[in-house]
Amino acid sequence: MKKNTPQILKGFRDYLPQEQIARRKILEKISIVFERFGFVPIDTPALEPLELLKGKIGEEEKLIYKFKDLGSRDVALRYDLTVPLGRVMGLNQDLPKPFKRYQAGNVWRAENTQRGRFREFTQVDADIVGSSSIIADAEVIATIKSAYQALEVGDVVLKINDRRLINLALDELAIPKSKHVAFMRWLDKLDKIGEKKVIDGLKSDGIKPETFKAYEDILKSKEPEFFKDLFSMLKDLGVEDIKFDPFLVRGLDYYTGTIFEFVLKSNTEFGSIGGGGRYDGLIGSISGADMPAVGGSIGLDRMFAALKEAGLIAPQTAAEVIVLNLDAELVGDYLRIATNLRDSGLDCEVFYEPSKLDKQFRYAEAKNIKVAVVYGKDEVKLGKAGLKDLEKKSQVLVDLENLATEIKSMLW
C-alpha cells in the first residue's frame, strides 16, 4: 500500500466478489417474493432536501448526513426509505391506491462506529400506502416472512404488538400523554438492560414503578380479543410462530398501529432481522393527502450477517470455465472457443498472459473455477481439446464441437 493512500471511510464497507455475489442473490430472492405479493419496485435519489427529512424520525435526526450543495441548498443523504416514499406519494397523487411498492436501497446514518455500527447499509422495504385495512397489515407481515423462507434462514419468530394497545394501557394507567414516549423508550430497552433497570428508569422519569407490571397485565388480558382478526388472517397466509410481545415498541416515533419484528428462532440473541408496522400519519404529513400506510423492512446487511453466522453463505464461483493460454499463436482459437462456450450459456474466462501453466492453474484455483480448457499445438494436431476437472485433477480429451456439452456434464 502506498504511503498516505486514502483509506476507506470509517463505518463504510467494500463488498468483495465472494460477498457481493451472495448479497445480489439475497436481493434477487427478496425481490421475487415481494413481487409474488404484488409489490412493485421504485427508486428514489440518495440526496433529498434536508427539510423533507426533518422532524420525522425523532431524536435520531442528529445522525443525518447533511450539507449545503454547490447551489447552497440544504441537502441530506436519505436516512430511510419511508420518508422519501411520502414525497413520491405527494408528487404522484394519481398512482392507483393502495400503492404497494418495494424499494431496495442504501441509507446513511452517522452512527457511532465504536459500537460496531455501520454508516451505510442496504434496506429492502415493502409498504402499502392508501389502505387502512388490517388485511394490509397481515399481508406485509406475510410478505416479509415469506422472504425469510425463500432465503432459507431457518425458522423465524414473529414478535408482535400494537401502538393502539399500548396507548390504551397507558391511558388506563393514567400516565400522562407527555410521558408516553419516555415510557416506551424504557420498554424498548428491556432486552438490553433488564427489568430492574427499566423500572429504575421509569422512576427517574417520574413514572410509578408498579405501572410496569400493571402495564404487562393489561396488555396480556386484552391481547386475545385485540389480535383475533390479525392472527386469524396471518394463519390464512401461512404465518406461524407468532409471539405477542407486550414490550415490543419499536424506536421510530411515527408508528400508530400494528408493530412487528422478526428474530431467528435458533438465535434470538442476534436480535431483529427485520420488522415494521403501521404508520397512518407520516405519509399524509409529507404528501398533504391523508394516506394510511403499513410497511416492513429487511436489513440486507443484518440478513447477510445472519446467513454468514449460520454458515449459509457458500463460497462463490466466478467463471465456470477457463481457457488456458498455452501458445501466443493460438490466441485466436482461445477467443473463438470462449465465444462458443459463452454462447452456449457457460461463464467463461480466457487467461490473457502466456504465463507458465502452473501460474494459470493457481489463478483458476484462487477463483474457484471448476474446469480448464487445455489447447496447445498437440491438441491442434488431434483436433481435440483437453478438459481438466480442477477439483478431481482428472483430464479428458474431447472433440472441439462437443466441448460445451462435455463441460456442462462435468459441472451439473
Residue bearing cell 400503492: 99
Q: Does 357 bind its own copies (CB under 8 A)?
A: no
Q: What is the dihedral of CA 53, 57, 63, 69, to 10 degrees?
A: 0
| Residue type (1 letter), 17 | P
**Exposed (0-12), middle (13-18) or buried (19+): which is 127, by Cβ within 10 Å?**
buried
Q: Does 75 bind its own copies (CB under 8 A)?
A: yes
Query: How many residues sit close enough to its own copies to count as binding (CB under 8 A)?
Result: 102
Q: Looking at 21-29, 161-169, 266-274, 373-381, which segment touches its own copies (CB under 8 A)?
A: 21-29
User: Taking every pair of C-alpha atoms in the chain, what is the biggest distance, in angstroms?
Assistant: 93
Query: Which grid cell is 291?
Result: 394516506
Cβ(262)–Cβ(159) below 8 Å? yes
Q: DSSP letter at 97? A: S
Rg (CA), the chain: 28
Cα(326)–Cα(380) distance, rounded to whole angstroms? 12
Is the Cβ of residue 267 or residue 285 nearer to its own copies in the bound state? Answer: 285
Q: Does 49 bind its own copies (CB under 8 A)?
A: yes
Quote the least distance from Cβ 250 to its own copies, whole Å. Answer: 23
Q: Looking at 12-20, 191-199, 263-271, 383-391, which segment touches its own copies (CB under 8 A)?
A: 12-20
Q: Figure out which of the listed residues 138, 165, 298, 385 binds its own copies, where binding follows CB under 8 A.
A: 138
Dihedral sign for Cα 405, 409, 411, 412, please.
positive
Is the Cβ of residue 105 or residue 246 nearer to its own copies in the bound state? Answer: 105
Q: Figure out which of the listed residues 108, 255, 260, 304 binds its own copies, where binding follows CB under 8 A.
A: 108
**Exposed (0-12), middle (13-18) or buried (19+): which is 225, by Cβ within 10 Å?**
exposed
Quote the least distance from Cβ 110 to its own copies, whole Å. Answer: 5
Q: Does 150 bind its own copies (CB under 8 A)?
A: no
Q: Does 232 bind its own copies (CB under 8 A)?
A: yes
Q: Does 157 bind its own copies (CB under 8 A)?
A: no
Query: Which grid cell is 397?
Result: 480429451
The helix/strand/coil state of 184 is helix
Cα(89)–Cα(97) distance, rounded to whole angstroms? 10
Q: Does 215 bind its own copies (CB under 8 A)?
A: no
Cα(99)–Cα(94) distance, rounded to whole angstroms? 10
Cα(158)–Cα(240) distance, rounded to whole angstroms? 8
Spatial CA neighbour of 84 closest among 57, 62, 111: 57
Q: Figure out which of the listed residues 26, 129, 264, 350 binds its own copies, where binding follows CB under 8 A.
A: 350
Is the Cβ of residue 33 or residue 169 nearer to its own copies in the bound state? Answer: 33
Q: Does 257 bind its own copies (CB under 8 A)?
A: no
Q: Looking at 99-107, 269-277, 301-309, 377-385, which segment touches its own copies (CB under 8 A)?
A: 99-107
Q: Does 359 bind its own copies (CB under 8 A)?
A: no
Q: Does 251 bind its own copies (CB under 8 A)?
A: no
Quote the least distance from Cβ 77 to its own copies, whole Å. Answer: 8
Q: Does 127 bind its own copies (CB under 8 A)?
A: no
Q: Looking at 104-112, 175-183, 252-260, 378-386, which segment touches its own copies (CB under 8 A)?
A: 104-112
Q: Does 388 bind its own copies (CB under 8 A)?
A: no
Is the Cβ of residue 297 or residue 360 nearer to its own copies in the bound state? Answer: 360
Is the Cβ of residue 165 or residue 350 nearer to its own copies in the bound state? Answer: 350
Q: Does 287 bind its own copies (CB under 8 A)?
A: yes
Q: Does 9 bind its own copies (CB under 8 A)?
A: yes
Mask of contacts with its own copies, 195-214, x by CB under 8 A?
Answer: --------------------
Spatial CA neighbour of 258 closest among 146, 137, 168: 137
Q: Does 65 bind its own copies (CB under 8 A)?
A: yes
Quote the least distance from Cβ 36 to its own copies, whole Å. Answer: 5
Q: Does 363 bind its own copies (CB under 8 A)?
A: yes
Quote the least distance from Cβ 206 to its own copies, whole Å. Answer: 32
Is the Cβ of residue 98 or residue 257 nearer to its own copies in the bound state? Answer: 98
Cα(392)–Cα(371) distance, rounded to whole angstroms? 10
Cβ(59)–Cβ(161) below 8 Å? no
Residue bearing cell 493460454: 325
Q: DSSP letter at 63? A: G
